[in-house]
């Protein structure tokens, strides 16, 4: 038997290419005779285009121009809804909306051409805030500006408040966050001789692009082909937007009869693509004097921007995580996604959960203060455990690691000792800083919400070629998180082979089945599980063909001769099957909201400079229950990276939106943490196995982003005595608050 392939830190399959610079990203591909595309965008938030004029002096005969009238099929980008035009016809719904496209053989000329087009508008007053949208200052969508509402109810909320000794209210706000992937959005498109429209690009979900382009170009499914190039990060930012840029490049390619590449620079990317949803969340909590939660009444409003994109599902996920990982007898969660005249907000690691957890965890701190008990004790009393009945009526049975994460994190961070130690430090006036420690706990539903996985009916598999090559077939993309390596490890373990004998097919809709999108912390748990099943099917056949399991390339080749039976490859594909005991009512929001949840606890230590009010994170200690770490080093990398991203959201990242525009759409003025800002992190992986995940694995990718922000705010409160209810907590805000208190 070859040694274990799962649970060990196998080197990443793509490490040599990434280290040596040989991995080919989209802008590394050259297309002889090809053109470069550029996008003319709106400069107002709301109104109507009245005139578009082209400078007569510019050599337009060198350019190809594509407009909405060139679209062969539907002028909309199909996602959950089909409300977003690929190119606006005349109605302006947000700044940066695409109007028309220009292609030129030289990249600089394409960009220059845009400066020679004048757009005139009939400008209308826009709706730019959640409050204005709810108040229907103007109705910009439907009858009431509402994109989606959700409701979760358990028990009777009034009965809950009647039982309470204390009722505590709080309001929490979070702003936009930019994904800031290393590689900007970019694609290339061309039309094959048989009319197939092919797109190669920096993509997270090739089949989403496929689905959108089939409608835009009115083509049969086999005449649209989408291929992922090496991709430099996505974090959700390449979930829906690539359908737009791919549609643009393909439209130009179709009109030009030549390959067309569109690569955004950082400014265009940050200004025009999706961000995390800003949110306003109100909590009203009833609690007994013993610290037992008896009523949670929660209202969530998120800003969806001008079109629906992911907002309905971001909202439902936020709703289903609104209570935090706590059991409460009486719950009501009412939530709304509203439209504003800003570029659509979209998917970003956490997908509504960071917003929900930010509010829920700070509310727990507020409740603990009101009741007069330690907030860890309050969490311990109410945290989910086997036997818990959640707000949707889901009975938690196993793989519930919330309390385990909490105790490990509290012990390893020495939370209680640190609280006392820092109180002593802060009492000494001559010390140059204030120090504090904060804590938070969260859950994260793994996989698609509700019946989403059943609807997706994802497929994945492995194939064996005549030459004995084993290839994984999945549409799941490696964005830098290590998907390829994880898949190879799972297949290798099932087959009893070393990981090095497994190769991964490029996510290419002509080559791999539809495994659904690479989102929702589902890839290892759901698609990894399908690959494991398919690998077992292959193994059974290999055993039949060669009696002993082949362990070398030569032995595999001999077995393949028999199994392939003259065909070039034999494919083993499997499909996701609905577990019998999982039910979900999408109208009432009742049932198993997720097949399983992952859990995490974090302690964050900060130090605030008394001269400059800068908050520096000194240490992060975290314990995260992910079922099973298929590759512990990659898992820790995910946890550390997500944590750093969350620290950025809490302390630095301020998207300065005015008039529906992000004014600081550059990395010089939108600050994300550097290595110098990133503290040492003590990461403990907790493994409470999930029976349906491969080797017990459940979701991991998003959770590290969900919980550090409220812990940062709690640590700043511990240090300075001031509770902030909004992030980022910039030094300017700390300065202002402290001066207001004691000028």
> Can you give the binding site for other proteins, defined by CB under 8 A?
108, 111-112, 265, 430, 432, 610-614, 616, 652, 656, 663-664, 668-669, 671, 673-677, 731-732, 735-736, 739
Select 598 or 665, whichever has its Cβ closest to other proteins. Answer: 665
Select 599 or 652, whichever has its Cβ closest to other proteins. Answer: 652
Select 370 or 672, whichever has its Cβ closest to other proteins. Answer: 672
Upstream peptide bond of 728 is cis (omega within 30 degrees of 0): yes
Nearest to 405 by CA among 191, 639, 660, 644: 639
For residue 265, list its beta bridge partners. Answer: none
Select 433 or 684, whichever has its Cβ closest to other proteins. Answer: 433
Half-sphere exposure of 404 (CA within 13 A, CB side): 17
Smallest separation (angstroms) from other proteins to the CB of 38: 12
Q: What is the DSSP string of 321-343?
A: TTT-SB--SEEEEEEEEEE-SSP
Smallest separation (angstroms) from other proteins to the CB of 680: 14
Smallest separation (angstroms) from other proteins to the CB of 640: 17
How far is it, in rounded angstroms, from Cα 289 to Cα 276? 37
Select 49 or 620, whichever has its Cβ closest to other proteins. Answer: 620
CB within 8 A of 174, min separation 6: which ones? Answer: 276, 278, 279, 354, 355, 358, 649, 709, 726, 727
Nearest to 438 by CA among 624, 651, 716: 716
As given in the structure block, the two tokens for residue 101 are 């496209």
What letter would DSSP give residue 726?
A: B
Smallest separation (angstroms) from other proteins to the CB of 668: 7
Smallest separation (angstroms) from other proteins to the CB of 726: 16
Select 184 or 493, whichever has its Cβ closest to other proteins. Answer: 184
Smallest separation (angstroms) from other proteins to the CB of 669: 5
Asked whether the beta carbons of 643 and 680 are under 8 A apart, the reply is no
Select 498 or 679, whichever has its Cβ closest to other proteins. Answer: 679
For residue 38, list its beta bridge partners. Answer: 102
For residue 136, how many other CB atoms are within 10 A of its CB?
Answer: 14
Smallest separation (angstroms) from other proteins to the CB of 616: 8
Smallest separation (angstroms) from other proteins to the CB of 674: 5
Select 28 or 265, whichever has its Cβ closest to other proteins. Answer: 265
Asked whether the beta carbons of 357 and 323 are under 8 A apart, the reply is no
Select 223 or 616, whichever has its Cβ closest to other proteins. Answer: 616
252-286 CB burial, b ≥16 within 10 A, e <16: bbbbbebbbbbbbeeebbbbbbbbbbbbbbbbbbb
Smallest separation (angstroms) from other proteins to the CB of 21: 16
How far is it, in rounded angstroms, from Cα 82 to Cα 214? 13
Sign of the C-alpha dihedral computed for residues 656, 662, 665 and 667 taken in this order: positive
């Amino acid at each position: 038997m070859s040694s274990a392939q799962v649970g060990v830190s196998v080197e990443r399959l793509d490490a040599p290419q990434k280290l040596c610079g040989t991995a080919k990203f989209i802008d590394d591909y050259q297309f002889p005779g090809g053109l470069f595309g550029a996008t003319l965008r709106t400069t107002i938030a709301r109104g109507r285009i009245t005139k578009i004029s082209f400078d007569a002096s510019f050599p337009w005969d060198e350019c190809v121009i594509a407009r909405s009238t060139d679209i062969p099929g539907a002028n909309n980008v199909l996602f959950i809804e089909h409300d977003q035009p690929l190119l606006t016809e005349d109605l302006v719904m947000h700044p940066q909306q695409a109007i028309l496209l220009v292609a030129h053989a030289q990249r600089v000329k394409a960009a220059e051409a845009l400066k020679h087009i004048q757009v005139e508008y009939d400008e209308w007053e826009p709706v730019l805030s959640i409050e204005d949208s709810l108040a229907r200052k103007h109705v910009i969508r439907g009858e009431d500006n509402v994109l989606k509402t959700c409701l979760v109810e358990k028990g009777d909320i009034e009965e809950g408040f009647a039982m309470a000794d204390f009722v505590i209210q709080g309001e929490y706000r979070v702003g936009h966050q930019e994904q800031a992937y290393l590689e900007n959005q970019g694609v290339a498109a061309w039309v094959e001789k048989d009319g197939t429209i092919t797109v190669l690009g920096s993509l997270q979900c090739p089949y989403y692009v496929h689905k959108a382009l089939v409608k835009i170009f009115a083509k049969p499914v086999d005449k649209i082909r989408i291929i992922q190039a090496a991709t430099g990060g996505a974090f959700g930012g390449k979930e829906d937007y690539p359908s737009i840029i791919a549609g643009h490049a393909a439209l130009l390619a179709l009109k030009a009869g030549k390959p067309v590449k569109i690569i955004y620079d950082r400014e265009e990317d940050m200004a025009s693509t999706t961000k995390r949803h800003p949110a306003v969340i109100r909590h009203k909590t009833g609690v007994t004097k013993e610290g037992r939660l008896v009523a949670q009444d929660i209202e969530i409003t998120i800003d969806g921007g001008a079109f629906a994109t992911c907002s309905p599902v971001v909202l439902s996920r936020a709703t289903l995580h609104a209570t935090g990982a706590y059991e409460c007898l009486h719950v009501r969660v009412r939530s709304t996604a509203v439209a504003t005249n800003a570029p659509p907000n979209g998917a970003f690691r956490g997908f509504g959960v960071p917003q929900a957890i930010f509010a829920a965890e700070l509310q727990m701190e507020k409740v603990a203060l009101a009741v007069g008990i330690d907030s860890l004790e309050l969490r311990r009393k109410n945290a989910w455990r086997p036997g818990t009945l959640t707000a949707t009526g889901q009975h938690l049975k196993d793989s519930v690691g919330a309390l385990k994460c909490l105790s490990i994190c509290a012990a390893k961070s020495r939370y209680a000792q640190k609280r006392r130690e820092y109180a002593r430090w802060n009492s000494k006036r001559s010390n140059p800083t204030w120090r504090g420690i904060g804590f938070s706990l969260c859950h994260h539903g793994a996989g698609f919400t509700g019946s989403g996985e059943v609807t997706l009916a994802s497929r994945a598999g492995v194939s064996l070629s005549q030459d004995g090559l084993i290839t994984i077939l999945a549409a799941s993309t490696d964005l830098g998180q290590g998907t390829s390596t994880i898949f190879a490890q799972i297949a290798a373990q099932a087959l009893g082979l070393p990981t090095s004998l497994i190769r991964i097919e490029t996510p290419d809709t002509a080559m791999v089945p539809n495994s659904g999108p690479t989102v929702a912390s589902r890839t290892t748990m759901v698609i990894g599980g399908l690959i494991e099943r398919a690998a077992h099917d292959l193994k059974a056949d290999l055993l039949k063909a060669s009696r002993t399991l082949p362990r070398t390339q030569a032995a595999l080749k001999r077995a393949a001769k028999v199994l392939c039976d003259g065909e070039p490859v034999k494919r083993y594909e499997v499909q996701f099957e609905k577990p019998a005991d999982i039910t979900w009512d999408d109208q009432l929001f009742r049932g198993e909201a997720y097949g399983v949840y992952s859990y995490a606890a974090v302690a964050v230590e900060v130090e605030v400079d008394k001269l400059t009010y800068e908050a520096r994170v000194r240490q992060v200690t975290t314990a995260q229950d992910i079922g099973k770490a298929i590759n512990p080093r990659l898992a820790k990398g995910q946890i550390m990276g997500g944590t750093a991203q969350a620290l950025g959201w809490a302390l630095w990242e301020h998207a300065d939106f005015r008039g529906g525009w992000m004014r600081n759409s550059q990395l010089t003025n939108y600050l994300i943490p550097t290595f110098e800002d990133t503290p040492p992190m003590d990461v403990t992986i907790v493994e409470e196995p999930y029976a349906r995940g491969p080797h017990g694995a459940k979701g991991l990718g998003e959770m590290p982003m969900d919980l550090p922000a409220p812990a940062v705010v709690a640590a700043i409160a511990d240090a300075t005595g001031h509770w902030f209810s909004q992030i980022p907590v910039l030094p300017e805000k700390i300065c202002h608050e402290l001066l207001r208190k004691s000028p």
